[in-house]
A and B are shown apart, each in its own frame.
Chain A
Amino acid sequence: MTAITDRQKLQYMAAKAADARVNVELETEGMILNMGPQHPATHGTLRIVARLDGEQVISAEPIAGYMHRGYEKLSEVRSFPQVTTLINRIDWLGSFANEVPFILACEQLMEIEAPPRAQWIRTLLFEMSRVANLILFLGDMGVQLGAVTPAFYAFRDREFVLDQIEAVTGGRFHPNFDRIGGLLDDLPKGWLAETKQVMVKVRRFCDEIDDLLMGAETFESRMRGIGVIPPDVAMQYGLSGPNARGSGIDWDNRRDNCFGLVYPELDWKVWTHPDGDSYARFWVRLQEVREATKMIDQLCDGLPGGPIMAKVPRIIKVPTGEAYVATENPLGEMGYYVISKGGLNPFRVKIRSASFNNVSITPWLLRGVYVPDIITILGSLYFILGDIDR
Chain B
Amino acid sequence: MSDETTTPEEAAPQEVEVEVAAPRDERLEALLERFTHHLGDSIVDSHIVVGKDLWIRVATDAWRAAAEVARNDLHARYFGFLSGIDWMESPYGRSMDSEVDRILSGEDRPGPGPIEQGYAGGETRFQVFARVAHIGEPNATWGVTLKADVPDDPFEVESWTSVFAGADWHERECHEMFGIGFVGHPGLRHMYLPSDFEGYPLRKDFPLVARQVKPWPGIVDVEAMPEVPAPGAPGAPDGATGATTEPADGGDA
Direct contact of A and B (CB under 8 A): yes
Interface of A toward B, CB cutoff 8 Å: 1, 64-65, 68, 70, 72-74, 76-77, 79-82, 108, 111, 179-186, 231-233, 235-238, 244, 249-251, 255-257, 270, 307-309, 311-316, 319-324, 326, 333, 335, 337, 339, 341, 343-345, 348, 350, 352, 356-357, 360-361, 364, 389
The one of B136, B139, B240 in contact with A249, judged by C-beta atoms closer than 8 angstroms, is B136
Q: How far is the CA of A249 from the CA of B77 in the complex (A)?
A: 12
- Determine whether B80 belongs to the interface, using a CB cutoff of 8 Å to chain A: yes
A216 and B139 CA atoms in complex are apart in Å by 38
- Of B6-14, B35-43, B102-110, B150-158, the stretch lying at the interface with chain A is B6-14
Which one of B79, B90, B95, B240 lies within 8 Å of A314 (CB-CB)?
B240
Q: Is the CB of B119 within 8 A of A309?
A: no
Segment from B22-30, B58-66, B244-252 that makes contact with A: B244-252
Q: Would you give the shortest CB distance from A79 to chain B, in whole angstroms?
A: 5
Supposing A65-B192, A235-B78 touch, asked if A320 and B252 sit within 8 A by C-beta, the answer is no
Residue in A238, A307, A324 whose beta carbon sits within 8 Å of that of B78 in the complex = A238
Known: A64-B191, A309-B241. 9 other contacts (CB 8 A): A65-B190, A79-B249, A184-B243, A236-B166, A256-B135, A326-B80, A341-B116, A348-B86, A352-B81
Verify B94–A81 contact, CB threshold 8 A: no
Query: In the complex the two chains form, what is the Cα distance from A107 to B145 in whole Å?
Result: 19
A77 and B95 in contact, given A309-B236, A335-B80 (Cβ under 8 angstroms): yes
Compute how far the CA of A389 lies from the CA of B173 in the bound complex, rounded to whole angstroms: 10
Tell me, yes or no, whether B234 is within 8 Å of chain A by CB.
Answer: yes
Q: In whole angstroms, how far apart are the Cα atoms of A1 and B135 in the complex?
A: 10
CB of B180 closer than 8 Å to a CB of A:
no
In angstroms, Cα B60 to Cα A293, docked, is: 48
Cβ-defined partner of B118 (8 Å) among A184, A249, A339: A339
Q: Which residues of B contact A (CB under 8 A)?
A: 9, 11-14, 49, 52-53, 55, 77-81, 83, 85-86, 89-90, 94-96, 116, 118-119, 129, 131, 135-139, 141, 143, 145, 164-166, 168-170, 177, 190-193, 201-202, 206, 208, 211, 216, 218, 234-246, 248-249, 251-252
Residues of A within 8 A of B192 (CB): 64-65, 68, 389
The distance in angstroms between the C-alpha atoms of A350 and B131, with both chains bound, is 11
With CB as the reference atom, state the residue of chain A lying closest to B163.
Answer: A236
Instruction: List B contacts of A79 (CB < 8 A).
Output: 245-246, 248-249
* Cβ contact of B85, chosen from A70, A111, A235, A339, cutoff 8 A: A339
The 17 listed contacts between A and B (C-beta, < 8 Å) are: A74-B208, A77-B211, A180-B242, A182-B241, A184-B241, A185-B235, A250-B138, A308-B235, A312-B245, A316-B248, A319-B12, A321-B118, A337-B129, A339-B118, A350-B83, A357-B166, A360-B169
Partner of A322, one of B83, B119, B202, B246: B119
Selected contact of A312 from candidates B206, B216, B242, B249, CB within 8 Å: B242
Q: Given that A72-B202, A237-B166 are known contacts, is A77 also in contact with B208, CB under 8 Å in the complex?
A: yes
Residues of B within 8 Å of A70, CB to CB, are 201
Bound-state Cα–Cα, A249 to B249, Å: 45
Q: How far is the CB of A294 from chain B (nearest CB, A)?
A: 19
Choose among A238, A251, A341, A344 the residue that contacts B81 (Cβ–Cβ < 8 A): A238
- 3 cross-chain pairs, A with B, having the tightest CB-CB distances, nearest first: A179-B242, A237-B166, A65-B192
Q: Are B52 and A344 within 8 A (Cβ)?
A: no
Residue of A nearest to B241 (CB): A309
CA distance A179 to B240 in the complex (A): 11
Residues of A within 8 A of B81 (CB): 238, 335, 337, 350, 352, 357
